[in-house]
Amino acid sequence: MYVMVFYVPQSHLEVVKEAVFNAGAGTMGQYDRCCFQTLGDGQFRPLEGSSPFLGQVGTLEQVPEWRLELVVDEEHAAQAVQALLDSHPYEVPAYHLIPVLTLEGVEFSE
């Protein structure tokens, strides 16, 4: 199991969520399309040779972006990442997969 984290502008929030959900991410037990999202400010400076979706080459940009966190199992992780990359407007979307240790089924002694 992984937690998948990525950042996306408001204009593509629902499109990208739909893509990663359709790829199998965001399922927990008998629930699907589960995620947590927080609005924040992203910062970047496009370098020479880039084709930025937002901003200008050589200019530091600060833009509102949504941070999304959702679970994805190993079986669907590669598909979910590919769905993110295919649906995201940025040339290089920032994302990471964080391995998760769960303790389901573990008995605790008192």
All domains in the chain, ordered by first residue? 2-38+66-99 (3.30.70.120)
**Mean pLDDT, residues 40-67:** 93
- Name the helix (H) or strand (E) containing 21: helix 13-22
The average pLDDT across 63-67 equals: 96
- State residue 46's pLDDT score: 92
Q: What is the pLDDT of residues 6-40, one digit of tens each?
A: 999 999 999 999 999 999 999 999 999 999 999 99
Order of strands across the sheet with 95-99? 36-44, 61-72, 2-8, 95-99
Give the type of residue at 93: P
Q: How far apart are CA 89 and CA 96, in angstroms?
A: 17
Closest by CA to 35, choosing from 58, 16, 48, 53, is 16
Q: What is the pTM of this model?
A: 0.86
Judged against a pLDDT cut of 80, whether residue 66 lies above it is answered with yes
